[in-house]
Structure 1
Amino acid sequence: MPQYALITGASSGIGLALAEALARRGHALILVARERPALESIACELSQRFGVEVMFRVCDLTEPLQLSGLLYEVEQCDYQIDLLINNAGAACAGSFLDNDWQRERKLLELNVFALSRLCHALGNAMARRGSGRILNVASLAAFQPGPWLSSYYASKAFVLHFSEGLREELQEQGVQVSALCPGPVRTPFWRNARLDMRPLIGSKWLMSAEQLAQLALLGLDRQQAVIIPGWRNRLLARAAQLSPRRLARRLAARLNRHLLPR
């Protein structure tokens, strides 16, 4: 029976780059996203280029019935998923009180609840088999508060702390859990979050999705609990942890306001 990597948010950006990197390694894939045309094209291309089985499932993870349907299919078809990558995520830039509540709600549904549900369902299957890996995509934002992106920063802090706690719970059952905490990455995330990426263009802090994917898989191979790609990002994460909280949130507020559209 083939073993699959299930990747959410696989139609673009980090998810797509991780799918390609895994396909290059010969790993069978199940790609999950909302956009059928993009998924069909990607599945066909990766299968032809790398000779691996690539399936896709169209699913809006913020809709509980669709998420339940996806998990039911995975269980009934007995797909052996040895790697779960919870990559799908959203951000909502601007003042929390001014933002549309439905956008804020969907952010929490996707970044927190859908991720937790997938970890619970597929983590149980892995624990019963005695093997498996889970990679939850957090962010450098997880290490500090982030005014003007308050819900996003808080959701990524949840992902980081949840992943570290789950790692300790599951290690004796043969399941490895890791959190990926990238800094700025050149993806459609910025446009979808209504952020202005132009101030970061040309910056050494900005990484390509392909670079990130390679470093993320290297961190998985090394069984790292928290994967922070790039020495600059590791330095920034450490600085955020050591800085007084008041200073950390004020610096984040200044940076995030600078990235808001004008």
Structure 2
Amino acid sequence: MSRYALVTGASSGIGLALAEALARRGHNLILVARQREALESIACELAQRFAVDVLFLTCNLAEPRQLSGLLQELEESDHEIDLLVNNAGLGTSGPYIEQDWGREQHLIEVNMLALARLCHAFGGRMAEQGGGQILNVASVAAFQPGAWMSNYSASKAYVLSLSEGLREELRSRGVKVSVLCPGPTRTAFFRGAGLRLGRLERGTLVMDAEQVARIAVRGLERNQAIIVPGWRNALLVLVHRLAPRWLVRKVSAAINRAVLPVAPL
């Protein structure tokens, strides 16, 4: 049975960079995203460049029927998933109660429900096989409440907490669980979330997706529990853990509000 790394949200950004970093290390891949044409092109390129087997499956993870179909297709295949990378995710911004509920629900379905279901399905299979690895992608936003991005920050706090819990539960079954908590990264995320970094996007505070992916894969190889790329982000996480909670709330709210296109009243 062939072994594969399954990467969700693999058509762009950190997901694509993670897929490339894994292929570079000889991992066969199963790429999952909604954009069929993009996945087909990426799969062909990675297979040619790194001489690995690269498959792709289109799926809208927010749709329960599509997610069930994905799981069934993988269950019936002869592909053993020994690494699950839950990267798919999205963000929203602005005053929570003024946002369209459908978009906020979509965030919950992708960032939390789909991730949890994939962890449940493949974590169980890995435990039965006696080994495997899971990497869930959270964010430095997981370490603090984030006014003006309240739902997003809460979803990433869920990912962080679930990952740490599963790490302890599955340790004795030979399954390793890590969580990646990147800071601001040059991807389409900010545009999709309705944020504007302006000149900050070209500065050293924002990392490249490829750099984040390299650090993430090294962290996986070391079985690191929480992977925070970049010393600035690591320092930020430390400060958030040590500072009074009221101060963390105020500072994170001010930072998020500063990158909104139009500051709320």
User: TM-score range, shorter-chain basis?
Assistant: over 0.9
The 8 Å contact of residues 183 and 206 in structure 1, kept in 2 or not, is answered as: yes
Give the equivalent residue in structure 1 for 2:35. 35
Instruction: Tell me how far apart the structure 1 counterparts of residues 78 and 149 of structure 2 sit (CA, whole Å).
Output: 39
Give the equivalent residue in structure 1 for 2:134. 134
Corresponding residue SS for 2:60? coil
Give the equivalent residue in structure 2 for 1:251. 251
The 8 Å contact of residues 2 and 78 in structure 2, kept in 1 or not, is answered as: no
Identical aligned residues as a percent: 61
Instruction: Tell me how far apart the structure 2 counterparts of residues 197 and 44 of structure 1 sit (CA, whole Å).
Output: 33
More divergent stretch after superposition (243-252 vs 197-206): 197-206
Residue 56 of structure 1, CA deviation = 0.4
The 8 Å contact of residues 199 and 259 in structure 1, kept in 2 or not, is answered as: no
> How many aligned residue pairs are there?
262
| 5+ long unaligned stretches in structure 2 | none
Give the equivalent residue in structure 1 for 2:166. 166
The 8 Å contact of residues 145 and 153 in structure 1, kept in 2 or not, is answered as: yes
Q: CA RMSD in A?
A: 0.8
Task: State whether structure 2 residue 66 is matched by structure 1 residue 58.
Answer: no
Give the equivalent residue in structure 1 for 2:115. 115
Q: TM-score, normalised by structure 2?
A: 0.97
Corresponding residue SS for 2:32? strand
Instruction: Tell me how far apart the structure 2 counterparts of residues 178 and 103 of structure 1 sit (CA, whole Å).
Output: 28
Deviations 1:130-149 (A, max 9, x none): 01000000000000000000
Give the equivalent residue in structure 2 for 1:17. 17
Instruction: Tell me how far apart the structure 2 counterparts of residues 202 and 192 of structure 1 sit (CA, whole Å).
Output: 18
Instruction: Tell me how far apart the structure 1 counterparts of residues 104 and 200 of structure 2 sit (CA, whole Å).
Output: 25
Give the equivalent residue in structure 1 for 2:4. 4
Q: Which runs of 4+ in 1 moved over 4 A?
A: none
Corresponding residue SS for 2:97? coil
Give the equivalent residue in structure 1 for 2:223. 223
Instruction: Tell me how far apart the structure 2 counterparts of residues 240 and 202 of structure 1 sit (CA, whole Å).
Output: 25
Residue 2 of structure 1, CA deviation = 1.7
Instruction: Tell me how far apart the structure 2 counterparts of residues 200 and 101 of structure 1 sit (CA, whole Å).
Output: 30
Give the equivalent residue in structure 2 for 1:92. 92
Corresponding residue SS for 2:83? strand
The 8 Å contact of residues 146 and 252 in structure 1, kept in 2 or not, is answered as: yes
Matches within 5 A, 1:147-166: 147-166=147-166
Corresponding residue SS for 2:98? coil
Instruction: Tell me how far apart the structure 2 counterparts of residues 164 and 205 of structure 1 sit (CA, whole Å).
Output: 27
User: What letter matches 2:59 in structure 1?
Assistant: C
Deviations 1:124-182 (A, max 9, x none): 11000001000000000000000000000000000001100000000000000000001
Residue 199 of structure 1, CA deviation = 4.2
Residue 78 of structure 1, CA deviation = 3.2
Q: TM-score, normalised by structure 1?
A: 0.98
Instruction: Tell me how far apart the structure 1 counterparts of residues 203 and 251 of structure 2 sit (CA, whole Å).
Output: 18
Instruction: Tell me how far apart the structure 1 counterparts of residues 81 and 187 of structure 2 sit (CA, whole Å).
Output: 26
